[in-house]
Structure 1
Amino acid sequence: MFPKPKPLLVPNTYAYESEPMVKATGFREYDARWLFGKEINLMGIQALGMGLGALIAELGQKQEIVTGHDFRGYSASIKYALMTGLMAAGCKVHDIGLAVTPMAYFAQFDLDVPCVAMVTASHNDNGWTGVKMGASKPLTFGPDEMTRLKEIVLNAEFKNKAGGSYQFHENYPARYIADLTNRPKLKRKLKVVVACGNGTAGAFAPQVMEAIGCEVIPLDTELDHTFPKYNPNPEDMEMLHAIRDAVLEHKADVGLGFDGDGDRCGVVDNAGEEIFADKVGVMLARDMSAVHKDATFVVDVKSTGLFVTDPVLQKQNAKTTYWKTGHSYMKRRTNELKALAGFEKSGHFFFNAPVGRGYDDGLVSAIAICEMMDRAPGKTMADLKEALPKTWSSPTMSPHCADETKYGVVAAVVKHFEDAQKKGDKVAGQSIRDLVTVNGVRVTCEDGSWGLVRASSNKPELVVVVESPISEARMHDMFEAMNVVLRTHPEVGAYNQTI
Structure 2
Amino acid sequence: MFSLPQPALAPNTYAYETQPLVKPTGFREYDARWLFGSEINLMGVQALGLGLGTLIHELGVRPDIVVGHDFRAYSASIKHALANGLMAAGVRVYDIGLALSPMAYFAQFALDVPCVAMVTASHNDNGWTGVKMGVNRPLTFGPDEMSRLKQIVLSGADVARDGGGYRYVPDFPEVYIRDLTDRPKLNTRIKAVVACGNGTAGAFAPRILEALGVEVVPLDCDLDFTFPKYNPNPEDLEMLHAMRDAVLASGADVGLGFDGDGDRCGVVDNHGEEIFADKVGVMLARDLSVLHPGATFVVDVKSTGLFMTDPVLIANGAKADYWKTGHSYMKRRVNESGALVGFEKSGHYFFNAPIGRGYDDGLVSAIAILDMLDRNPGRSLAELNDALPKTWSSPTMSPHCADEKKYGVVDAVVRHFETMAASGATIDGQKIRDLVTVNGVRVTVEDGSWGLVRASSNKPELVVVVESPISEARMRDMFRLVDGVLRAHPEVGAYNQSL
The whole-number CA distance in structure 1 between the counterparts of 2:193 and 2:231 is: 17
Match in the other structure for 1:61 = 61
Q: How does 1:350-365 map to 2 (within 5 A)?
A: 350-365=350-365
Match in the other structure for 1:341 = 341
In the alignment, structure 1 residue 6 sits paired with structure 2 residue 24: no
- State the Cα distance separating 1:389 from its structure 2 match: 0.2
Match in the other structure for 2:409 = 409
Structure 2's unaligned 5+ residue stretches are: none
Match in the other structure for 1:34 = 34
In the alignment, structure 1 residue 425 sits paired with structure 2 residue 425: yes
Match in the other structure for 2:332 = 332
Match in the other structure for 1:88 = 88
Query: For 1:246, what is the secondary structure of its paired residue?
Result: helix
Match in the other structure for 1:377 = 377
The whole-number CA distance in structure 1 between the counterparts of 2:299 and 2:57 is: 33
Q: How does 1:92-491 map to 2 (within 5 A)?
A: 92-491=92-491
The whole-number CA distance in structure 2 between the counterparts of 1:113 and 1:299 is: 29
Query: For 1:290, what is the secondary structure of its paired residue?
Result: helix
The whole-number CA distance in structure 1 between the counterparts of 2:130 and 2:425 is: 43
Please give the per-residue CA displacement for 1:93-134, whole angstroms capped at 9, x wherever unaligned: 000000000000000000000000000000100000000000
Q: Which amino acid aligns with 1:406?
A: K
Please give the per-residue CA displacement for 1:112-160, whole angstroms capped at 9, x wherever unaligned: 0000000000010000000000000000000000000000000011111
Q: Which amino acid aligns with 2:268?
A: V
The whole-number CA distance in structure 2 between the counterparts of 1:31 and 1:466 is: 26
Match in the other structure for 1:23 = 23
Query: For 2:388, what is the secondary structure of its paired residue?
Result: coil
Query: For 1:457, what is the secondary structure of its paired residue?
Result: coil
Query: For 1:473, what is the secondary structure of its paired residue?
Result: helix
The whole-number CA distance in structure 1 between the counterparts of 2:120 and 2:387 is: 37
Q: How many residues align?
A: 499
Please give the per-residue CA displacement for 1:357-391, whole angstroms capped at 9, x wherever unaligned: 00000000000000000000000000000010000
Match in the other structure for 1:497 = 497
Q: Which amino acid aligns with 2:176?
A: Y
- State the Cα distance separating 1:430 from its structure 2 match: 1.0
Q: Which amino acid aligns with 1:121?
A: A
Please give the per-residue CA displacement for 1:318-343, whole angstroms capped at 9, x wherever unaligned: 00100000000000000010000000
Query: For 2:427, what is the secondary structure of its paired residue?
Result: coil
- State the Cα distance separating 1:426 from its structure 2 match: 1.1
- State the Cα distance separating 1:429 from its structure 2 match: 2.9
Query: For 1:122, what is the secondary structure of its paired residue?
Result: coil
The whole-number CA distance in structure 2 between the counterparts of 1:24 and 1:70 is: 23
Please give the per-residue CA displacement for 1:258-284, whole angstroms capped at 9, x wherever unaligned: 000000000000000000000000000
The whole-number CA distance in structure 2 between the counterparts of 1:171 and 1:33 is: 28
Please give the per-residue CA displacement for 1:395-430, whole angstroms capped at 9, x wherever unaligned: 000000000000000000000000000111112331
- State the Cα distance separating 1:2 from its structure 2 match: 1.7
Q: Which amino acid aligns with 2:271?
A: A
The whole-number CA distance in structure 2 between the counterparts of 1:239 and 1:427 is: 34
The whole-number CA distance in structure 1 between the counterparts of 2:166 and 2:403 is: 36
What CA RMSD, in Å, does the superposition of the two structures yield over aligned residues? 0.4
Query: For 1:431, what is the secondary structure of its paired residue?
Result: strand
**TM-score, normalised via structure 1 length:** 1.00
Query: For 1:247, what is the secondary structure of its paired residue?
Result: helix
Q: Which amino acid aligns with 2:295?
A: A
The whole-number CA distance in structure 1 between the counterparts of 2:485 and 2:17 is: 45
Query: For 2:145, what is the secondary structure of its paired residue?
Result: helix
The whole-number CA distance in structure 2 between the counterparts of 1:256 and 1:156 is: 45
Query: For 2:430, what is the secondary structure of its paired residue?
Result: coil
The whole-number CA distance in structure 2 between the counterparts of 1:429 and 1:231 is: 41
Structure 1's unaligned 5+ residue stretches are: none
Seq. identity, %: 75
- State the Cα distance separating 1:18 from its structure 2 match: 0.5
Q: Which amino acid aligns with 2:260?
A: G
Match in the other structure for 1:50 = 50
The whole-number CA distance in structure 2 between the counterparts of 1:428 and 1:192 is: 43
The whole-number CA distance in structure 2 between the counterparts of 1:201 and 1:448 is: 38
Ranges of 4+ aligned residues in structure 1 off by more than 3 Å: none
